[in-house]
Amino acid sequence: MKTPVTIDLQRASRLLKLLGDPTRLTMMKLLKSHECCVCEFVEIFKMSQPAISQHLRKLRDIGLVKEERKGQWIFFSVNESHEDYPFIESILGHLPDQNESIVELESQGLRVCCK
C-alpha cells in the first residue's frame, strides 16, 4: 500500500498563508487556465500596478508561478513542476472557475494578445 504524498506542515502552512489572500487565490485559479500579464490583472482586480506586482512576486518567490517575458510584457503562469503542485492543484480544484474575468477582459479589448 502506498503512503499518500504528504507535505511538511511548515511548508504547507506557508503555502496556505499565501493562498489565504483573495487576490492571490484568484490569481492562481486564473493562471491555472490562462497565462496573464500584470496589466491584465490590474484591470481584473481594479488594483494599482505595484500592488499586483507585489502579489505576483510573493507567488513567484515561493515558486508557485513562473514568468516569461514576451516583448514588453511578462506573462505569468502556474509552475506545475513545483514540488507541492499536487497539493496546490487539489485546492484550486475546489474553486469555481474564473473564466468570466477573462471573457470580460476580452470583450473590453483589454486582453493582451501577444503578437
Q: Which residues pair with 73 in a beta bridge?
A: 70
User: How far apart are the C-alpha atoms of 94 and 88, rounded to whole Å?
Assistant: 10
Q: Label residues 46-76 b or e (16+ Cβ within 10 Å = b).
A: eeeeeebeebbeebeebebbbbeeeeebebb
Q: What does 96 bind: a second copy, DNA, none (CB cut-off 5 to 8 Å by kind)?
A: a second copy
Closer Cβ to DNA, 11 or 86, answer by number: 11
Q: Name residues contacting a second copy, limited to 19-58 (CB under 8 A).
A: 19-22, 25-26, 29
Part in contact with a second copy (CB under 8 A); list of ranges 13-21, 63-71, 73-81, 103-111 = 13-21
Q: Write down the least CB distance from residue 107 to DNA, Å.
A: 18
Number of residues that bind DNA (CB under 7 A): 27
Of the candidates 15, 79, 71, 21, which has an alpha carbon nearest to the alpha carbon of residue 51?
A: 21
Q: Which residues bind a second copy (CB under 8 A)?
A: 4-10, 12-22, 25-26, 29, 86-87, 90-91, 93-96, 98
